[in-house]
Every structure is written in structure tokens, then in C-alpha cells.
Amino acid sequence: MMRISTILPIIITAAFCAVGFSTLLKGQSMNITFPEIPPSVLPAPRMDFNDGQDPMECRLFRTTTIRTQIDLGGFWDFIPDADDVGMDRKYGAEFPEPETQLWIPGTWNATARYWQYQGPAWLQRTFQVPEAGHMRFTFGGVFYRCQVWLDGKLIGENEGGYSPFSLVVRDISEGAHTLTVRVDNRLDDESLPKDGVDWFPYGGIFRPVYAELVPAVFIDRYHVIPQRIASKKADLNVRVYTRNLGDQVTQERIEFLINGEPVYSGAHDIAAGESVVEFSVSLKRPHVWSPADPYLYSSRLVLGEDDQVDRFGLRSLTAEGYRLLLNGERFKLMGANHHDDHPDWGSALPPHIIQRDIEILKRMGANAVRGHYPPSQLFMDFCDQYGLFFMNEVPSWQYRPEQLAKQVIKDKIKAQYHDMVYRDMNHPSIFSWSLGNEWREFEKSYDDIKELVDYARTVDETHFITFITGGAHIDRSNALVDIICTNWAKYQWYWDQTILDDEVGEQSIAQLNKIHESFGDKPVILTEFGGSGSQAGWHNWGNVKWSEEYQARNVWDSGRYGLEQDWLSGGCVWQFCDTRTAHVRMLGPRLRGWNVKGVVDGYRQPKMAFYKLQELFHSYPNPE
């Protein structure tokens, strides 16, 4: 038994501790505040007319009320093919003994076993078709090259990881079928993105995959394109992309509904193969979309025996000299660069992680996000719904002039650009389309850039078209685009003696100001600002490289400069969260093989820079 003389000191110490601790808690006055997420987005607005759940979790709403849909997500048999023998051995028809099962949507690079694997791999699953008919298979994103077999027969292939692709199979029978996919995540000098890109080339079927029974004449997609938005009326053009599997023109009735109300009905000839049908509608007293009031319209298009549901929003984004106007009012963009990346999920971000990222961005005070490639459609739906603009881009990242001069690369840029616009036209959150990022010595590539911009203008002229330059470098190619986008930081990161040096800061500012001197009539956006890495939790008194202090200071000084200049229309911090980077970047400026320039870490815990950015963004309110 313990004697009282022994336990008394313990009791006294414990009592002191308790009193001391509670006093400490009471007296605690931390300066960190947590601004609430704007009330307009909590809870997420419900839509009156198309709230049905998407069974594939591909969208925030159900995209059809007619088609039978089959979710092809789940466990697929998996085998890597490091010796690349699967084609010769006809794995498409005779799948070998699998090594394991992989959860789809998912990437093998997020599993312990295949963490580093880059090469071809094979996946297979069976599924049931409830009734015979024409079947359309849609893959939301397969990185990077793939071939697809149905019941041992090759039905199609695709290159480029970030846009969906569909394959149609006629007259599929009722019952069990097998889908086999070969995926290869090796990149090279002519891939898009190229080998050595500064993010991880996660391999796999990493976005939702599903099948649908479609009639012989069906809707591939439709775009609602605002022509004129005034306070009393908005004029809209509806463009329907149709597929007719027969070989004759057929006549079909088209009905169009907005918020459940029929607004158009007409008969249209639908040509065999792929074709486009257009009609116009108008809307009284339009409710415009903005980050402060992200109002969405619901719509449904019926074509004969098929239908599709989608949302759209109405907003006008224009430039008046260097000023950006959103719905006629001055607007500054404040955001973060976002990669599809998470230590546990890799590039296959599940819906709840996407939603949380969006809520963290809103809490930060952001009204925009930028990506190096199109994110998932679910991400875009969340941007629409929560009120975040998205600066969309194709992953033509840091090509050298010799690469940009190659027709094969330009054609891939054009193809991915087309697919990006085709998928995302209806999202009011789309701010701009970018043809690429930080092309090297891009002044040598004028003719190639002109070819790409000319192409982009044939695809869509209703959004800003741009490309992004590094380090505030500009030349005559910038005159070709609608807004000038540059990546810039006040202090350097890649220099040996990385320091927060005033002289260095003044030089960077002088370089940045040259943009306004040369292109005073165009809006300028800092597409990446403040990029500095920090090891989460590492602090010191000296503002030393890799410390949270260094990062916070560069983010604050670069961002504040950007927001204070009347001629600058805002920017996006580089970057939202820490991200894994390509194998070739394991050493040198990448800590543990990660690009640690996130203002939150990989698991989304805040660093000092997050709070500084939050303070900055919340002190520059945009008009409600």
C-alpha cells in the first residue's frame, strides 16, 4: 500500500497541473481565426428538378431518367506486365492468373505492392447485362494509354489520361460479359504530359467507369451556350451532339426543359453517324451565377427515346482593358493550384475528399482553382455548386521549342484541348481554357503557338483562351491570347542561396511590371504565385528554406503584391496541397520525392502559409 507521504506530492503536483492547465486554457488567446465557409454554400444547395443520385458517383446528379446504367467500379483482377508480353500472349482474350484485385476507380500507385510501378498492366472484370441492346462504355479517365477488349475482342483504345472517352458496342446480348483493359502509365518525349513532368504519373482506371444501354439514336452530349445575358432576358443556344447508329437519316423529336419547365420542342433530322443539331431558347429574368451566389439551372434534353440531364449557369466574364468584370462588376481572382493527389488515394480522389478540398478552399477565401489538367467531372460539379472558378488546362507542360514544333505533339494538344472543352462547356465555373504551361523559350515557338491558339478559337470563343508563361516572361505570342497568365514569386526558390532578399524581390517585381508596360490593355493573372516548399511542422527563427516561415512569407508577399496592384487581376497560390512527384525528381529540390509547396500538407492539415493566405484572401472581398 502506498503511504500518504508518497502520494501527497503526486496529488499536489496533479492539482497544480490541473489548475495551471485550465488557467492556461482560459487565458489562451490564439490569434488564428477560422472564418466560416460562406453560408450560401452550406448546406450544398439542393436542386428542385434533378437531385437524383448518380449511381456511378461520376456526377453530383443523375444524368438520365431513361437509360439503364451499370456501374463498372469495384474490384477488378489485376496483373502488371513489366516485360510487356501481354499483347503477344493475347491477354485481351486469355487473361492470365491475376496477381491481385484492384479497386476501381483507383490507381495501382496508391497500393503498397505497386507503389512505384510504371509500365503496362492488365485489368479485367465481368458484369451482367440486364437486357440485349446497344451499349456505350464510358471511362472517366484512364492514365495514360489503354486498349479495351469486350469478351476477348478489341473494341477501342485511347491516349491521354484526363478526359473521358466512350466506346459503343451494338447488339450486346443479355447476360455475363467480360471487359479487359490494358493500361500503360509510361510517359515519353511525345506524350501529353511528357516524361519527367512535375507530378506523379499514377497508372490505372482512376476515374469512374460505367456502361449504359442506349437507343439507336442517342445524345452524346449537349451544350447550353449563353449568347446574351441581360437583366430581363438571356438568350441561349443549345447545341446537341447526336449519334445515329443506323445508316439512314431519321427524324426525332427534341424536347428541352429548364428547371422542369418545357422551353422547346421540335422535330429534327438526325444524320447517320455523328452530327450536331442546334436551336435557341430564351429565359426571362436570368439568375446569374457567381462565387458568392452559385445559382445553377437544371436542364433535361429528350431526343426520341433517349434523354440527358445536366446543369448550367449564367454568368458574364469580360475584360475592360486590364480589368476583369464578372456580371459587370470588377472581379479579382483568388485561388490555389490543385493536383488530383492524396497520399492514400493517389490521383483517384474519392467524392468525400474532393468535397473536403473544395470546402477547405472556400474556407481559405478562395474564389478560384487552377489545374494543370482537367479534374474529374465531380470536381467540376462541386466548383459549380460551391462557387469556385476553375482555370482549366491541357497538360502540355514545359515543352521545349523542338517539342512544340512537332506536329504529333501539337495534334495531341489539340485533341486534348477539344476533349476538355467538349466535356466542360456547361460548367459556369470554367474561367479559362489554357493550351499549356511554361513552354520553354516560348518566344522561339511563335508560329507553333499561333497554330494552337488559332485552333483553340475554332473550338470555343465564349471563354478566355490563354497559355501560361513562367517567371513573368512575355513576348509577342502573348498578344495572341485573351488574358495574360504568368507564374511568379517575389523571392526565388531554386537558387542556392534562397533568401528573402529585398533586392531579389525588387528585381522580380520589375520583371513582373514589364508585362503591364507591354500589354497594358489585357488582364493579367498570376496563375502560380509564391511557390515555396516547406516541411510541415518544421519551424525556425531564420526564415530558412524548407521552413514554414519561409514559405508563409513568400506566399504572403507575392500574393499581397498581386492583389494590391490595380492592373493585376489576382492569382492562385502554388500550390494547394503537397503532392507526390515523378521518379526522376526524387532528388534535388524535392523533399522525399514530394513537391511540398502545398499550403496544406498531403493529408490537408494546414501550414502557416494557409493562415496567411486566408488572412490575405479574406481582406480583399469581391462584390457580393
For residue 403, give the nearest of 193, 203, 147 by alpha carbon.
193
Q: Number of residues in contact with ligand ADA, rule: CB under 6 A?
A: 10
Residues 406-465 contacting ligand ADA, CB under 6 A: 437-438
How many Cβ atoms are within 10 Å of 258's Cβ, its own excluded?
19
Strands 484-488 and 464-470: parallel
Cis peptide before 43 (omega within 30 of 0): yes
Is the CB of 76 or the CB of 594 nearer to ligand ADA?
594
Edge-to-edge strand list for the sheet holding 261-270: 261-270, 250-258, 297-303, 306-312
Sign, Cα dihedral of 365, 371, 376, 377: positive
Shortest CB 196 distance to ligand ADA, Å: 11
Does the footprint of ligand ADA cover residue 531 (CB under 6 A)? yes
**Residue/partner pairs of 83-87 with CB below 8 Å, 24 or more apart:** 84/119, 84/120, 86/120, 86/122, 86/182, 87/182
Does the footprint of ligand ADA cover residue 557 (CB under 6 A)? no
For residue 528, give the nearest of 493, 573, 492, 465 by alpha carbon.
573
Q: Report the C-alpha gap between 214 and 175 in whole angstroms.
A: 17
Is the CB of 203 or the CB of 598 nearer to ligand ADA?
598
Is the CB of 60 or the CB of 572 nearer to ligand ADA?
572
Does the footprint of ligand ADA cover residue 375 (CB under 6 A)? no
Shortest CB 589 distance to ligand ADA, Å: 7
Shortest CB 82 distance to ligand ADA, Å: 28
Is the CB of 393 or the CB of 549 nearer to ligand ADA?
393
Shortest CB 396 distance to ligand ADA, Å: 12
Shortest CB 588 distance to ligand ADA, Å: 11
Is the CB of 163 or the CB of 527 nearer to ligand ADA?
527
Of these, 67, 182, 194, 597, which contacts ligand ADA (CB under 6 A)? Answer: 597
The residue type found at 243 is R
Does the footprint of ligand ADA cover residue 528 (CB under 6 A)? yes
For residue 279, give the nearest of 235, 219, 316 by alpha carbon.
235
How many residues are given for the chain?
A: 624
- Strand partners of residue 124: 77, 180
Q: Report the C-alpha gap between 523 and 520 in whole angstroms.
A: 8
Q: Report the C-alpha gap between 460 and 555 in whole angstroms.
A: 34
The binding track of 86-125 with respect to ligand ADA, each residue x by CB under 6 A or -, is: ----------------------------------------
H/E stretch holding 509 reads helix 502-518
Of these, 54, 81, 184, 198, which contacts ligand ADA (CB under 6 A)? Answer: 198
Is the CB of 162 or the CB of 331 nearer to ligand ADA?
162
Does the footprint of ligand ADA cover residue 180 (CB under 6 A)? no
For residue 394, give the nearest of 192, 534, 201 by alpha carbon.
192
Does the footprint of ligand ADA cover residue 578 (CB under 6 A)? no
Of these, 108, 574, 611, 617, which contacts ligand ADA (CB under 6 A)? Answer: 574
Shortest CB 527 distance to ligand ADA, Å: 8
Of these, 487, 508, 534, 547, which contacts ligand ADA (CB under 6 A)? Answer: 487
Does the footprint of ligand ADA cover residue 488 (CB under 6 A)? no
Shortest CB 437 distance to ligand ADA, Å: 5
Beta carbons of 148 and 187 less than 8 angstroms apart: no
Is the CB of 206 or the CB of 529 nearer to ligand ADA?
529
Residues in the site for ligand ADA, rule: CB under 6 A?
198, 372, 437-438, 487, 528, 531, 574, 595, 597
